[in-house]
Amino acid sequence: MLKGKIAKLAVSDVRFPTSLEQHGSDAMHANPDYSAAYVVIETDDGLKGYGITFTVGRGTEIVVCAVEALSTLVIGKTLEDIVSNFSGFYRCLTSDSQMRWIGPEKGVIQLASAAILNAIWDMWARAEGKDPKQLIRCIDFRYITDALTEQEALSELISIEEEMLKEGYPAYTTSCAWLGYSDQQLTQLCSTALTEGWTKFKVKVGADLQDDIRRCSLIRKMIGPENSLMIDANQRWDVAEAISYVTKLAEFRPLWIEEPTCPDDILGHAAISKALAPLGIGVATGEQCHNRVMFKQFLQASALQFVQIDSCRVGSVNENLAIMLMAAKFRVPVCPHAGGVGLCELVQHLILFDYISVSASLENRMCEYVDHLHEHFKSPTVIRNAHYMPPKDPGFSSEMFDESVQKHQFPHGEVWRSILEKNGS
Amino acid sequence: MLKGKIAKLAVSDVRFPTSLEQHGSDAMHANPDYSAAYVVIETDDGLKGYGITFTVGRGTEIVVCAVEALSTLVIGKTLEDIVSNFSGFYRCLTSDSQMRWIGPEKGVIQLASAAILNAIWDMWARAEGKDPKQLIRCIDFRYITDALTEQEALSELISIEEEMLKEGYPAYTTSCAWLGYSDQQLTQLCSTALTEGWTKFKVKVGADLQDDIRRCSLIRKMIGPENSLMIDANQRWDVAEAISYVTKLAEFRPLWIEEPTCPDDILGHAAISKALAPLGIGVATGEQCHNRVMFKQFLQASALQFVQIDSCRVGSVNENLAIMLMAAKFRVPVCPHAGGVGLCELVQHLILFDYISVSASLENRMCEYVDHLHEHFKSPTVIRNAHYMPPKDPGFSSEMFDESVQKHQFPHGEVWRSILEKNGS
């Protein structure tokens, strides 16, 4: 199954008009249209692989352009060429001696690499099973050996039992309290979530302190003292501002403040962590942390207490393995970012690997869940009693229905044709 | 002159086939084709502005695509709209609530912002003169107020005399010792440079230690003990590897080691700085440092001893002002990255501003110079006795000859048509 050559790579600009109802709104992204650069690769013997990278609307065409540029490094290779030296292929894709200049390993070009690598992982997972030791050989250890060597990574790999299949992996919900929702909407969604068994809730904050005090107070009252509340500022503040603002929300006992400042500011996050520790509030970040070298430093500097990996921001499973293994070495729990479109589908695989093969613990661990757009995926996430149930179909759960892709193509799919006509453009 | 609306924005993919002669080759970029996304903006009353961002070949089309996406934020605005609240416009361009997801402020989208902002600065400079205080209002201080406030920035602004016009700004040369050059080529270029008055020389290292020892020894012998030697590894090593490798080159007394490891690794650079300080070797970095928040941390962590700003990597003059002012506050000299195509033309303006309005010192300060591709610019850099002479034409020196742009368009300009035909593609 690994002998066929990758003969085709097609990439689509797929956008969902989520901004029309303020789903996903936060302090920095007022009106996101959840979108994806969606990649389909196909070998000359008919094997397919599906990969996405998540975006929020405008600019997706730039990622599509980058995927097309990188496709020359993929076409013509067999799956065996790639996976037999996967860290070598990873480096080839992320370090092309001309294209690395416009990264390196960050921004558009890293998102494009993620989409392609996600498709390759999907293809590989469809073709055959893998054992954890094989996974380690997919990591490019360059620049991180001072924090984690290949040998140490192997020794972190411990295997535990299959309770996951019964209980599932704990999830928290972000669906109740987007910034653009009214108090009434928030109350209603929260009340429904409680009856469905949710116990961990995230609230978007950061635009206006009085609003946030009112919203956090409302939610804390509804969920009671035992359940968990997390708050998320989506990079809104400067460092001192973050400390002062969050201190004023401490009475609502948030477990963490997420993205308090610029995602690049390791030392800033370290200062915030130090200031908030006496209040019992941790710092969480990672959804816009662009590579393993940044995560390494966040860990080295004790700048976060929750590592939020993302399945589409960094270089796919390869780089997320490195990040999860470093988190384990530094004894910091991994609580992935998800939501958007497809992020829940993909990241559930990573979090199960983290539990089964790396951390073996659920303490302080949970995975984000947002209840949107799953209907477009052939193997959608299954949530039972606020837990992710392990996916059972072969692959990376990243395949979308053809019809969904067609309808939501930007700008010529029927959904966008109709919206753009209405707007007179 | 500021009332006209920006009515047109054109962007070209311009590439020079420098890889044919190994110009620009280093330990990570074996065969760069020096290139640019070249932006021309024009108001409806005929004022023009020219901006570039530098790239090294493949992938330039992605930056072009990003410039096109950002152009919607520029078209229809007057120059007055923009410059009357330039930090507001900067934030609008770099923080579009959908497009920021694919950065933010890094990689392709930041390079595209740089090209557009460089064009606006060029247009503004052609339209009128500016005083330094006005410049401060172009900086977005978000995320850096813990290191530098607007008030502090203003007080850093001191004005000194016009000696620059007589002596010029000291330069060093990188043209003698690209990694792909033979020893003979290197000896000959170095000998010519000495007769031309050059006293500071940079050597590319990092691919092979024995080669580097031979090359550094050769150059140190030729230039004598008084002249300066700098070495540049272009991100080749892990942290421990960098320390051990550079220690073995210490006998040649390099002033700095440039880009010893991943450009994102602030803490790694701090560790290297600490280890090399007793050997009298500083650490220099910045040409791939993607924004002011990263520079802030490099300064806070004492991770570099030479700040290498780049005129095209970050958000143009606006962001470089913030970086130069922070460097001044932390008492670290600015020694810009240049070379490529157009970088010398642009950065000479910044370094003069740094000297005249900020640092007022030449101690440990110099600007990189590479002797290539200047013939394509209407106001090329003037070097006299190894010094940059202050540019006298209005604007940012970023305008290229139409003929150069036409010929080097990728892939349809005549230079590339002929190369691609020869290669049978």
Rounded average pLDDT over B345-352: 93
- Residue A77: partners with Cβ closer than 8 Å, 6 or more residues away: A5, A6, A89
Q: Measured in Å, how far apart are chain A's first and last C-alpha atoms?
A: 47
Position A134 scores a pLDDT of 66
Q: A300, B69: Cβ pair inside 8 Å? A: no
For the cut 50, the answer to whether the pLDDT of residue B159 exceeds it is no
Q: What Rg value do the Cα atoms of chain B yield, rounded?
A: 21
Return the pLDDT at A65: 98
Q: Does residue B17 sit in the same domain as residue B166?
A: no
Closest CA to A269 of A252, A292, A246: A246
- With a CB cutoff of 8 Å and minimum separation 6, the contacts of B121 are B49, B51, B316, B317, B396
Q: How far is CA A260 from CA A238, A270, A282, A309, in A?
A: 8, 11, 11, 16
**Between β-strands B35-43 and B48-55, what pairing exists: parallel, antiparallel or unpaired?**
antiparallel
Average pLDDT over residues B78-94: 95
Task: Please judge whether A62 and B108 are an interchain contact, meaning their C-beta atoms are less than 8 angstroms apart.
Answer: yes
* Residue A285 is assigned to a structural domain of this protein: yes
**What pLDDT does A159 receive?**
46
CATH number of residue A186's parent domain = 3.20.20.120
Are residues A272 and A174 located together in one domain of the fold? yes
Q: What is the DSSP string of B199-258?
A: -EEEEE--S-HHHHHHHHHHHHHHHTTTSEEEEE-TT---HHHHHHHHHTTGGG--SEEE
Q: What is the pLDDT of residue B129?
A: 61
DSSP per residue over A151-203, as a string? HHHHHH-----SHHHHH-EEEEE-TT--TTS-HHHHHHHHHHHHHTT--EEEE
Residues in B 323-342 with any Cβ partner in A closer than 8 A: none
**Cβ contact, residue pair A293, B69, below 8 Å:** no
In the residue annotation, B204 being an active-site residue is answered as: yes
Element spanning A395, H or E: none
In a shared domain, residues A102 and A165: no
pLDDT digits (tens, 9 = 90+) for B384-405: 999 999 888 889 999 999 999 9
Q: At what angle do helices A107-127 and B60-71 cross, to 10 degrees?
A: 120
Host domain of residue B247 = 150-402
* Cα–Cα distance measured from residue B394 to residue A274, given in angstroms and rounded to the nearest whole number: 50
Angle at B30 between CA B28 and CA B33, to 5 degrees: 115
Which residues in chain B have their CB less than 8 angstroms from residue A18's CB? none
Last residue of a domain, one of A99, A130, A161: A130
β-partners of residue A268 are: none
Q: What is the pLDDT of residue A131?
A: 58
Give the pLDDT confidence score for residue B130 in this predicted structure: 57
Give Cβ neighbours of residue A175 (< 8 Å, ≥ 6 apart): A189, A193, A369, A370, A371, A372
pLDDT at residue A158 greater than cutoff 70: no
- pLDDT tens for A294-347 read 999 999 999 999 999 999 999 999 999 999 999 999 999 999 999 999 999 999
Q: How far apart are CA A153 and CA A148, in angstroms?
A: 7
* Choice among A23, A269, A337, A376 that is catalytic: A337
The total domain count for chain A is 2
**Total residue count of chain A as it appears in this document:** 425
* Same domain assignment for residues B205 and B330: yes
Q: Is B135 within the bounds of a domain?
A: no
Q: Is residue A422 part of a domain?
A: no
Spatial CA neighbour of B231 closest among B257, B196, B194, B265: B257
**CATH classification at residue B94:** 3.30.390.10
Q: Which of A98, A145, A265 sits opposite B59 (nearest CB)?
A: A98
Within an 8 Å CB–CB cutoff, is residue A116 touching chain B? Answer: no
Q: Measure CB to CB from residue A108 to each of B109, B143, B264 and give the nearest one.
A: B109
Report pLDDT for B131.
Answer: 58
> pLDDT-based confidence at A23, cuts 50/70/90?
confident
Report the complex ipTM.
Answer: 0.92
Q: How confident is the model at residue B201 (pLDDT cuts 50, 70, 90)?
A: very high
**Least confident piece of the model among A92-106, A304-318, A343-357, A398-412:** A343-357
One-letter amino acid of B128: E
Return the exposure string of A171-183: e unless at least 16 CB atoms fall within 10 Å of the residue's CB, then b. Answer: bbbbbbbbbbbee
Whether the predicted pLDDT of A77 surpasses 50: yes
| Closest Cα in chain A, distance from residue B54 (Å) | 9
Mutate to test the interface with A, among B262, B343, B425 (most CBs of A within 10 A): B262
- Active site annotation includes A378: no
Q: How many CB atoms lie within 10 A of CB B71?
A: 18
Can you give the pLDDT at residue A330?
A: 96
Residue among B23, B202, B204, B408 flagged as catalytic: B204
Residues B222 and B366 in one domain: yes
Residue that the structure tokens 């949970």 belong to: A366
pLDDT digit string (tens) for A236-286? 999 999 999 999 999 999 999 999 999 999 999 999 999 999 999 999 999
B352: confidence class by pLDDT, cuts 50, 70, 90: confident
Query: Stretch A210-222: mean pLDDT, rounded?
Result: 97
Same domain, A283 and A332: yes
- Average of pLDDT values for B108-119? 98
Together in a domain, A112 and A69: yes
Whether B110 and B227 share a structural domain: no
Contact of B10 with chain A, judged by CB distance below 8 Å, is answered with no
Identify whether residues B101 and B205 lie together within a single domain. no
Asked if the structure places residue B378 within a domain, the reply is yes
If asked whether residues B82 and B179 sit together in one domain, one would say no
Stretch A35-55: mean pLDDT: 97
Contact A41, A117 (CB under 8 A): no
Q: A390 preceded by cis ω (within 30°)?
A: no
Q: Within a domain: residue A48?
A: yes
Mean pLDDT computed over every residue of chain B: 93
Q: Mean per-residue pLDDT for A13-26? A: 88
Interface contact flag, B109 A62, Cβ < 8 Å: yes
Residues 159-218 of chain B whose Cβ lies under 8 A from any Cβ of chain A: none
Domain co-membership, B213 together with B361: yes
- Residue B373 lies inside a defined structural domain of this protein: yes
Query: Which residue in A30, A33, A62 is closest to B69 by CB distance?
Result: A62
Q: Is the pLDDT of residue A160 over 70?
A: no
Q: Does residue A141 belong to any structural domain of this protein?
A: no
Query: Are B98 and B155 members of one domain?
Result: no
User: Residues B378, B381, B385, B390: what is their CA dihedral angle, to the nearest 10 degrees?
Assistant: 100
Query: Phi, psi (5° rounding) for residue B284?
Result: -120, 140
Alpha carbon of residue A162 to chain centroid? 24
Tell whether B61 lies on the interface with A, counting CB pairs under 8 A: yes
Whether the pLDDT of residue A24 is over 90: the answer is: no
pLDDT of residue A392: 81
Say yes or no to pLDDT of B118 above 60: yes
Of the candidates B23, B202, B290, B337, the residue annotated as catalytic is B337
Q: CA-to-CA distance for A132 and A151, rounded, in angstroms?
A: 14
CA distances from B137 to B130, B167, B237, B353 (A): 12, 30, 39, 15
Q: Is residue A416 part of a domain?
A: no
Question: Is A109 an interface residue toward B (CB < 8 Å)?
Answer: yes
CB spacing of B143 vs A262 below 8 angstroms: yes
Average pLDDT over residues A168-178: 92
